[in-house]
């Protein structure tokens, strides 16, 4: 779809009808080709022709419907937008909570003030009409008489007028938005939840005012001058309480996006005038040199210019094995530097960074509309008019059927229909499901593109799993140590020597050996010499012992025969493990195996997927033998091995072409 697309934050929407009103108002504007309003995310996504209509005009269109709207700053990043949205949600929750609590307290006090009117009713003054309120007051009247007898000495007209002004105050302070938005909707020939609340409470209030100011109007017609003041206040308090809980739920569903915001460091260490200085991450300039030390998060995206390290990129890839970084490699903001220090040039900042793009993808996904939402939209579009029609029919039915005071009973029943029919859940159900699902998926490392993808997931027939970090733990662990015949070192001593040597290495397999030795409580010593042999292993000296740890090619370089343990190495490799030969002082000492064990939950999860009728395929870059060993242990029957990262997408498309 051609045109410019913007997102406009919209405040004040509380139900599906509100959403529908804003959406229709935007869609009617010349130059607007598409308008989609999301109640949960509280924004409007509008595609428009900028030569016909401007963003400011779109904002004014939204405001004219009775809702708040403001354009986001063009310099605002996804992080800034999320922070602003969190603040707005918290402010909304705080405001609703204050109004709900105060209105509730005033409502209870209004009930107490209304009790003396029960006794005054027999003298022709206004009385409490609501049957439930009357029952509650009857139950509490004896206690109130004993605690506050002076209350019954106040003239009934004074109590009625006092309740009138108290109720008016609550309606203006706590419930004003119901009436202003209902009026805006009326001017646009539409209706929403605010219409139901405004008509219901407004009718009850006006009826009560007439009963207070001119009780003779009712008495002359054989009707009691009933009032509904306390009911109006309680209704407003209850609806505000419901809105408050909705606001809190919306804030909780944004937890995944807030977690992404927390991934970005607040400061960065940059080189300026030859000095390292800490600056807010927003002040990093394109082309500046950024310094990252072990254990720190990478602040912005860039390209490494000096140093080497291993970086945990699990927040991007789900792989817990750190990725080696050197000159020319890309550093991504939000990832964690594990070992060495390095410097890099900042190349991608703000909204163009990888983390910001992930946030944008998630935000768009949570704000997207599932196809089933269209059904909810159609229903909500006719819901309020239908409710008003039902309320009118209810009034007529009760007026005809009631034996005593038909007008009062019919009025109470019609107001009840208007109040209880607020369609909040209708507009929130689908967006909430999409938002919670995409948010939970992000917490578990799964990025879901939107509501349509979620709905289509019900048609999935084949699930393709990566091996490392998905089926397996993604964390190599020492599984075996097989000593060579004639070795003069014990297994524990060999492990201590090898782990001591590997403390100088940055390789993930070396880290597994060091971690295993520490878990066994072995005391490690720094190597007296160390040399990493690319593609082969490492050599060095520990406590006077010359060590070589690596593959068969490394052993061949040092003329060491691996035949005594070759069978053991091949057997371990057949189980999906990585064997490493160990030589001490020029003699073969052992073979150590490191493996990435399958997750404790993998077999159960795969069995459950197969029980759902899904075909499970494991796609990996590992060799066929290792892949088959892992697949067999996990219960996966189909394996595609030896696929490079660039080829995995093509393999997925091939499976899709097969109709999977």
Give CA 155 to chain center in angstroms.
Answer: 56
Count Cβ neighbours within 10 Å for each residue of 119-145 and write b for 16 or more, e otherwise.
ebbeeebbbbbbeebbebbeeeeeebe
Type and span of the H or E element at 578: strand 578-584
| Alpha-carbon radius of gyration of the chain | 35
What residue has token string 């991007």?
316
Which phi and psi angles does 640 have, rounded to 5°? -120, 105
Distance CA 456, CA 290 (A): 43
Give, as one character, the DSSP assignment of residue 281: G
Give, as one character, the DSSP assignment of residue 149: G
Distance CA 294, CA 621 (A): 29
Q: Which pair of structure tokens corresponds to residue 416?
A: 């009840």
Q: Which pair of structure tokens corresponds to residue 155?
A: 């003239």
Distance CA 587, CA 584 (A): 5
Distance CA 100, CA 103 (A): 5
In terms of C-beta distances under 8 Å and separation of at least 24 residues, what long-range contacts does 562-566 make, across chains too? Answer: 562/588, 562/591, 564/484, 564/485, 564/588, 565/482, 565/484, 565/590, 565/591
Distance CA 351, CA 80 (A): 10
DSSP string, 410-451: HHHHHHHHHHHT--HHHHHHHHHHHHHHHHHHHHTT-----H
Q: How many CB atoms lie under 10 A from the CB of residue 56?
A: 9
Distance CA 302, CA 270 (A): 12
Distance CA 494, CA 491 (A): 5
Catalytic residue among 130, 192, 301, 466: 466
C-alpha torsion sign, points 460, 464, 469, 473:
positive
Distance CA 52, CA 30 (A): 7
289-292 sheet: strands from edge to edge? 275-280, 267-272, 289-292, 342-348, 301-307, 330-331
| Helix, coil or strand: residue 557 | helix
Give yes or no: 466 in active site: yes
Partner residues linked to 533 by β-bridges: 537
Contact 223, 405 (CB under 8 A): yes
Residue 646 CB contacts under 8 Å (≥ 6 apart), including other chains: none
Residues designated as active site: 466
């Amino acid at each position: 779809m051609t045109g410019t697309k913007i997102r406009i934050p919209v405040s004040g929407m509380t139900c599906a009808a509100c959403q529908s009103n804003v959406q229709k108002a935007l869609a009617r504007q010349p130059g607007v080709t598409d308008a989609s309003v999301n109640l949960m995310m509280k924004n409007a996504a509008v595609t428009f022709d900028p030569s016909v209509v401007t963003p400011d005009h779109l904002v004014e269109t939204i405001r004219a419907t009775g809702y708040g709207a403001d354009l986001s700053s063009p310099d605002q990043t996804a992080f800034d937008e999320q922070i602003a949205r969190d603040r707005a949600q918290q402010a909304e929750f705080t405001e609703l909570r204050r109004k709900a609590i105060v209105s509730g307290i005033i409502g209870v006090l209004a009930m107490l003030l209304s009790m003396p009117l029960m006794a005054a009713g027999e003298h022709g003054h206004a009385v409490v009409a609501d049957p439930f309120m009357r029952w509650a007051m009857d139950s509490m009247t004896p206690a109130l008489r004993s605690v506050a007898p002076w209350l019954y000495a106040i003239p009934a007209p004074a109590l009625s007028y006092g309740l009138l002004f108290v109720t008016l105050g609550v309606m203006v302070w706590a419930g004003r938005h119901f009436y202003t938005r209902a009026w805006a909707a009326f001017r646009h020939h539409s209706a929403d939840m605010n219409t139901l609340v405004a008509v219901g409470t407004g009718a009850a209030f006006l009826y009560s005012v007439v009963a207070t100011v001119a009780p003779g109007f009712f008495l002359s017609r054989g009707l009691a001058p009933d009032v509904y003041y306390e009911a109006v206040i309680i209704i407003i308090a209850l609806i505000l309480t419901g809105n408050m809980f909705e606001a809190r739920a919306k804030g909780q569903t944004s937890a995944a996006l807030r977690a992404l915001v927390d991934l970005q460091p607040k400061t960065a260490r940059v080189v300026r005038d030859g000095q390292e200085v800490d600056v807010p991450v927003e002040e990093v300039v394109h082309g500046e040199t950024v310094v990252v030390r072990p254990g720190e998060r990478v602040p912005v995206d860039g390209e490494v210019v000096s140093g080497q390290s291993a970086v945990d990129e699990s927040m991007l890839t789900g792989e817990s094995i750190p990725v080696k970084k050197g000159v020319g490699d890309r550093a991504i903001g939000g990832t964690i530097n594990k070992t060495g220090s390095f410097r890099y040039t900042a190349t991608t900042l703000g909204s163009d960074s990888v983390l910001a793009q992930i946030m944008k993808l998630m935000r768009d996904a949570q704000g997207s509309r599932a196809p089933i939402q269209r059904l909810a939209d159609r229903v909500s579009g006719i819901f309020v008019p239908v409710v008003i029609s039902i309320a009118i029919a209810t009034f007529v039915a009760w007026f005809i059927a009631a034996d005593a005071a038909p007008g009062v009973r019919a009025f109470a029943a019609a107001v009840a229909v208007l109040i209880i029919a607020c369609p909040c859940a209708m507009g929130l159900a689908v967006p909430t499901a999409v938002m919670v699902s995409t948010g939970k998926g992000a917490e578990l490392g799964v990025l879901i593109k939107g509501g349509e993808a979620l709905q289509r997931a019900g048609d999935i027939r084949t699930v393709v799993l990566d091996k490392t970090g998905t089926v397996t733990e993604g964390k190599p662990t020492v599984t075996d140590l097989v000593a060579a015949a004639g070795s003069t070192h014990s297994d524990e001593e060999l492990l201590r020597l090898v782990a001591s040597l590997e403390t100088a290495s940055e390789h993930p397999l070396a880290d597994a050996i060091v971690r295993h030795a520490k878990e066994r409580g072995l005391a490690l010593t720094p190597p007296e010499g160390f040399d990493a042999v690319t593609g082969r292993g490492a050599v060095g000296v520990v406590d006077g012992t010359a060590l070589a740890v690596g593959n068969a090619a490394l052993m061949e370089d040092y003329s060491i025969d691996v035949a005594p343990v070759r069978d053991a190495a091949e057997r371990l490799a057949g189980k999906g493990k990585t064997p490493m030969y160990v030589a001490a002082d020029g003699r073969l000492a052992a073979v150590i195996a490191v493996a990435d064990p399958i997750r404790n939950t993998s077999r159960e999860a795969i069995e459950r997927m197969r029980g759902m009728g899904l075909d499970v395929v494991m796609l990996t870059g590992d060799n066929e033998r290792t892949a088959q060993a892992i697949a067999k242990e996990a219960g996966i029957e189909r394996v595609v091995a030896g696929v490079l990262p660039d080829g995995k997408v093509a393999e997925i498309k091939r499976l899709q072409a097969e109709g999977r």
